[in-house]
Structure 1
Amino acid sequence: MNRRRTSLTISQAAAIFAAALLYLVLLLWWMLPMLRAQPGLHPATHWYLIGFVLFPPMIAYAVWQAHREGANSFAERLTSLNIRPMSQRDWRYAAAGVFSVLGGTGVLLAAWSNLARLDLLPPVETEPWCIDMSPLEGRDRLLLLLWAPMFVLNIVGEELLWRGYVQSRLTVRWGWLVVSLLWLAFHIPFGIPVMVLSLPLMLILPFIFDRTKNTTVAILIHGMYNGPAFLAAAFGLLPG
């Protein structure tokens, strides 16, 4: 078997991110209003259903590119996309990454809130306009059974494509920073507050992947950032 890993330029990486961004914008422009027009559909499910359409193509594209490079078996594709077991060093990086991302986000949130109290900034909006994060009550909590697989697709889809494929093949100095900026741009549709509060994740996670070259580490950090916060909102544990 002849395997050759692709090298990506900044423009090629930017094109991949731009295609994903345009697809996201299309879904928010076309699919979201259609879902909101359905009177019997719980608002929380709108993003869940969009996620089922948004993230699988990311996984498919990353796997397809690995296949094009000659990774034909499941194990070879995992290796091609840098999915491997965690070493002790990886666990240390993952733990440091989770604490750094959560701590950095907390500092930004506190700083924004203080500036808002001084009327130097508008009140911070932690909920993206397109995602309903109101607490789920009673039987509506069963909707988390729909959220869970979408969440897995979200984290795995982004990390396989952004880290496992794009960043690991970007042949430029400071490639992790290039990916950080492109990843930040991908979140433009969610609004400025979300982008600002996501800066620690956008910068720290690609940096750690640059050090570990292990997509499993990135999946863990990303999941520990998104998952607990969403569940806390769903169960009404966040301050109002």
Structure 2
Amino acid sequence: MDKIAEMRKMTIWESILLFSIPSAYFIIITNNLIPYLVKDLNLHPALGWFIGGYIVFVPLFILALIFYRREGNEFRIRLILDRLRIKRLSKNDWKWTITSSIVILISTGLIMFTSKILSEGFGFRELETTPSFMEFQALQGFEKFYLLIWIPMFFFNIVGEEILWRGYILPRQELQHGKYSWVINSVLWLVFHACFGLDLIILLIPILIVVPYVAYKTKNTSIGILTHGILNGPMFVLVSIGLIK
């Protein structure tokens, strides 16, 4: 077979199920496994997060491929890329990537600035930028080699999420919900981040809105992978090695 199998519509209840199970699993890992690794086994907090990340994100990557195969598709690279909407970026796609990245950065900055103003001027608590399970001091000396363990986890984090949420699920949501599909995808992606706590969710609102919207408009998962990765990866590395506090 040289073409992908016909997709079925995804009902709202299927969408909720496919997001809520990984969301609950993510909460279990961050509330139980990572604290156990750090506090009971005395692992460095960064390693605790990296290991927990592997346990969460590798299954997302695998699930996307399993669901692809269950649709009746052959396990061929070209067909996988086609079904999951992983495409080369056109000039227009690059414009979407750059514009969406800038919009997310500016919007996130405005949220942080507003939080600081409300804190200094009106006594509101400033938003916390890091959940407890990801808190650790800047890596020192040999500890910086821990980032070699982080790199594959980062791949599965970004690619695993994007090919499942936007590559596999969103196209089926579009068949059912049309122009509102990206809104449903966005809200449920927010739910997936529940373990990060309200403060970080507020800071993540720009990316939680923009990435699903752009994926819907362009029908290209590669843009989400690139945008998600650009905004998450370099910043994490700079914070980890102490260049940004």
Q: Identify whether the pair has TM-score above 0.5, normalized to the shorter chain.
A: yes
* Equivalent in the alignment of 1:35: 37
The code of the aligned residue for 2:29 comes to: L
User: Which range moved further: 86-95 or 65-74?
Assistant: 65-74
Separation (CA, whole Å) in 1 of partners of 2:216 and 2:237: 29
Answer yes or no: is the 8 Å Cα contact 1:59–1:161 preserved in 2.
Answer: yes
Aligned Cα RMSD in Å? 1.4
* Greater shift in the superposed pair: 151-160 or 64-73: 64-73
Alignment partner, residue 227 of structure 2 = 221
Residue 167 (structure 1) aligned with residue 177 (structure 2): no
* Mapped partners of 2:104, 2:31: distance in 1: 30
Given the alignment, which residue of 27, 32, 40 partners 1:25? 27
* Residues 35, 133 of structure 2: 8 Å contact kept: no
Count of aligned pairs between the two proteins: 239
Residue of structure 2 equivalent to 1:8: 10
In terms of fraction of residues, the more helix-rich structure is: 2
Aligned to 1:182, the other structure's residue is in SS state: helix
Deviation for aligned residue 1:118: 1.9
The separation in 2 between residues aligned to 1:70 and 1:84, in whole angstroms, is 21
Question: Deviation at 1:110?
Answer: 0.7
Q: Is the 8 A contact 1:129 1:191 kept in 2?
A: no
Distance 1:123 1:104 in 2: 17
Report what 2:214 is aligned to. 208
Gaps in structure 2 of 5+ consecutive residues: none
> Structure 2 counterpart of 1:61, which letter?
L
Contact 1:61 1:161 in 2 (8 A): yes
User: Is 1:237 aligned to residue 239 of structure 2?
Assistant: no
1:178 aligns with 2:184: yes
For residues 26 and 13 of structure 2, what CA distance do their matches in structure 1 show?
20
2:88 equivalent to 1:85: yes
Q: What TM-score does the superposition give when structure 1 sets the normalisation length?
A: 0.95
Task: Indicate the residue corresponding to 2:128 in structure 1.
Answer: 125
C-alpha distance in structure 1 between counterparts of 2:22 and 2:42, whole Å: 30
Give the secondary structure class of the aligned counterpart of 2:133. Answer: coil
Deviations 1:152-179 (A, max 9, x none): 1100010011100111210203111111
1: CA distance, partners of 2:137 / 2:205: 24
Which ranges in structure 1 are unaligned for 5 or more consecutive residues? Answer: none
Q: TM-score, with normalisation over the residues of structure 2?
A: 0.93
2:138–2:240 contact (8 Å) kept in structure 1: yes
Corresponding position: 1:71 with 2:39: no
Aligned mate of 2:108, from 105, 109, 112: 105
Answer yes or no: is the 8 Å Cα contact 2:45–2:133 preserved in 1. Answer: no
Q: Aligned partners of 1:202, 1:184: CA distance in 2, in Å?
A: 6
Letter in 1 for 2:215: F
Paired with 2:81 and 2:104, the residues of 1 have a C-alpha distance of: 26
